[in-house]
């Protein structure tokens, strides 16, 4: 079977999803899980876009050693220099440089002639190869480009040193037949195409990203790009977990293999969903809650007699356990530590003690503690920075009745250590709580979204709250969990505010200011 490389861009293209703003700790946690998942290349970010992104990419390059780490750059020497500073400590650094090739982009965005674009692309690839051992060149909007010009440019950038050629469907415009034909045409008409890896990168604006990616593979692409859960700009990217499972289940049609560890799919999906605040739709293929649920009586009867009647994917294939009850109130620190390692977390002694304490508190109130519960606890603790100032919730109380105006009283400790306490009202319990917190916090807050979901099932399930807001103009999301929906909501609100402090904190190591060059 032919091998297909997997290029994951969850931390770059995926983070460009509206409302997603990961901090350095969260990016690193996702990066470590992507390494366990088995991706070949991990695009960690766009180093020249901000100081925070630079730091995040550099930290991943330093600590994730089993994967080639890539960074995005525009066709600018300053972007390339900044990317090199971020990636040079990685074991196998790669630069991903993009330049538009479609008539509409060259005319209206770049305001350059095709010859000027060709010369710029060749110059930047040649410059990048003086620093990077691997350079991926992307023909932005390739699916709407003139084929003869595209072929000519690809040949020239390969001669200049490109090692990967990416033909993205940047706006999700193409169809499987068209996209497959594009790859076939390039394979047949670029004389030096065998010197490089040919990559596919699809967006899902018309709902065809996965189908287009598979069509590209069938027609000569030996690398596929995408994100976990299909997150990304606008309607998102091709969902890598869907591509991986399709190649496995339909290997009779697609004789291709990847290095992905399929039973890590569910854990990877859950981690990305939790940290980005982007819930996975219940009916999403492969990882949605309903993917293995059968309500129709006819379906249920068939599955009970033989699962293959209606299940083409087994839950175990993607890491879904039918019974994940694993820990209880009598479990000790040793068993807890073993479970933490099984779930893929590496905690410091202080954070391990904090997690164990939270676990014990949960066992006092919840009969069954599942992997999902532990996963939620560990994710919150692992990605909470102890180095950034923060507001701390000490206590709260909400008074509510059908005949009374809901009133919330909250006690906080401010970042400077000041103890605060006040009360406020609202049309509902959550609004009263949020109004009170807003009154106590000196930063300017504008809440744009609030969502509540359950972790697992049953009346004692954990509640998970997610909020999106701007804090002093900084776009952030926050999350919190508790058995009490109001406590989860308060935690999510404060988590978002505290995350804004993370983004406002000065960075110690000053780097090249690429954006001003």
Q: Which of 102-111, 120-129, 364-373, 500-509 has the lowest mean pLDDT?
A: 500-509
The mean of the pLDDT values for the chain is 89
Give tens-digit pLDDT for 395-442: 999 999 888 899 999 999 999 999 999 999 999 999 999 999 999 999
Residue 25 CB partners (closer than 8 Å, separation 6+): 382, 383, 384, 385
pLDDT over threshold 70, residue 142: yes
Can you give the pLDDT at residue 149?
A: 98
pLDDT, tens digit, for every residue of 192-236?
999 999 999 999 999 999 999 999 999 999 999 999 999 999 999
Q: Which domains does the chain carry?
A: 5-276 (3.20.20.70), 325-380 (no CATH), 392-504 (3.30.160.270)
Q: In what order do the strands lie in the sheet with 462-471?
A: 445-455, 462-471, 474-482
Q: What CA–CA distance (Å, rounded) separates 45 from 26? A: 13
Q: What is the pLDDT averaged over residues 294-300?
A: 43
Residues 66-86 have pLDDT tens digits of: 999 999 999 999 999 999 999
CA distance 144 to 494: 45
- Would the pLDDT of 491 be above 80? yes
Report the C-alpha gap between 481 and 485 in whole angstroms: 8
Between CA 428 and CA 432 the distance in angstroms is 6
What average pLDDT does range 309-316 have in this prediction? 79
Is the distance from CB of 240 to CB of 264 less than 8 angstroms? no
pLDDT at 298: 45
Helix (H, G, I), strand (E, B) or coil at 284: coil
What average pLDDT score do residues 5-9 get?
Answer: 98
DSSP state of 507: P
Question: What's the pTM value of the predicted model, to 2 decimals?
Answer: 0.86
């Amino acid at each position: 079977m032919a091998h297909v490389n997997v290029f994951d861009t969850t931390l770059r293209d995926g983070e460009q999803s509206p409302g997603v703003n990961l901090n350095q700790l969260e990016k690193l946690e996702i990066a470590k899980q992507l390494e366990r998942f088995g991706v070949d290349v991990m695009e960690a970010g766009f180093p020249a876009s901000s100081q925070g992104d630079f730091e995040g990419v550099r930290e991943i390059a330093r600590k994730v050693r089993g994967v080639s780490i890539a960074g995005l750059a525009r066709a600018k020497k300053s972007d390339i220099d900044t990317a090199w500073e971020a990636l040079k400590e990685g074991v196998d650094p790669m630069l991903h440089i993009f330049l538009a090739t479609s008539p509409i982009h060259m005319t209206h965005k770049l305001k350059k002639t095709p010859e000027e674009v060709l010369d710029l692309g060749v110059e930047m690839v040649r410059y990048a190869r003086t620093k990077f051992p691997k350079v991926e060149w992307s023909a932005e909007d390739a699916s709407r480009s003139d084929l003869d010009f595209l072929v000519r440019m690809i040949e020239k950038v390969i001669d200049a040193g490109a090692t990967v050629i990416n033909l993205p469907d940047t706006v999700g415009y193409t169809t499987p037949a068209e996209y497959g034909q594009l790859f076939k045409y390039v394979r047949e008409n670029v004389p030096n195409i065998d010197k490089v890896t040919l990559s596919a990168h699809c967006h899902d604006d018309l709902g065809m990203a996965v189908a287009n990616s598979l069509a590209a593979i069938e027609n000569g692409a030996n690398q596929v790009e995408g994100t976990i859960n299909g997150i990304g700009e606008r309607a998102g990217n091709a969902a890598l977990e869907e591509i991986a499972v399709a190649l496995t289940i339909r290997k009779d049609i697609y004789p291709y293999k990847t290095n992905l560890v399929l039973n890590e799919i569910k854990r990877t999906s859950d981690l990305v969903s939790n940290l980005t605040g982007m819930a996975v739709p219940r009916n999403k293929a492969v990882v949605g809650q309903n993917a293995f649920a059968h309500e129709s009586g006819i379906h249920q009867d068939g599955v009970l007699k033989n699962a293959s009647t209606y299940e083409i994917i087994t839950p175990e294939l993607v890491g879904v356990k039918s019974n994940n009850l694993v820990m209880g109130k009598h479990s000790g620190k040793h068993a807890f530590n073993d479970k933490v390692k099984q779930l893929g977390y590496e905690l410091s002694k202080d954070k391990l003690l904090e997690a164990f304490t939270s676990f014990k508190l949960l066992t006092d109130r919840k009969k069954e503690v599942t992997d999902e519960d532990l996963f939620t606890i560990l994710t919150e603790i692992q990605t909470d920075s102890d180095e950034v100032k923060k507001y701390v919730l000490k206590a709260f109380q909400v008074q509510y009745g059908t005949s009374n105006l809901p009133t919330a009283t909250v006690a906080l400790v401010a970042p400077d250590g000041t103890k605060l306490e006040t009360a406020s009202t609202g049309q509902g319990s959550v609004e009263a709580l949020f109004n009170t917190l807003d009154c106590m916090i000196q930063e300017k807050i504008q809440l744009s979204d609030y969502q509540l979901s359950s972790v697992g099932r049953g009346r004692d399930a954990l509640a998970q709250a997610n909020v999106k807001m701007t804090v002093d103009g900084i776009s952030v999301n926050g999350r919190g969990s508790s058995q009490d929906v109001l406590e989860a909501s308060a935690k999510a609100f404060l988590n978002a505010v505290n995350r804004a402090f993370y983004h406002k904190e000065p960075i110690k190591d000053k780097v090249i200011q690429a954006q001003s060059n």
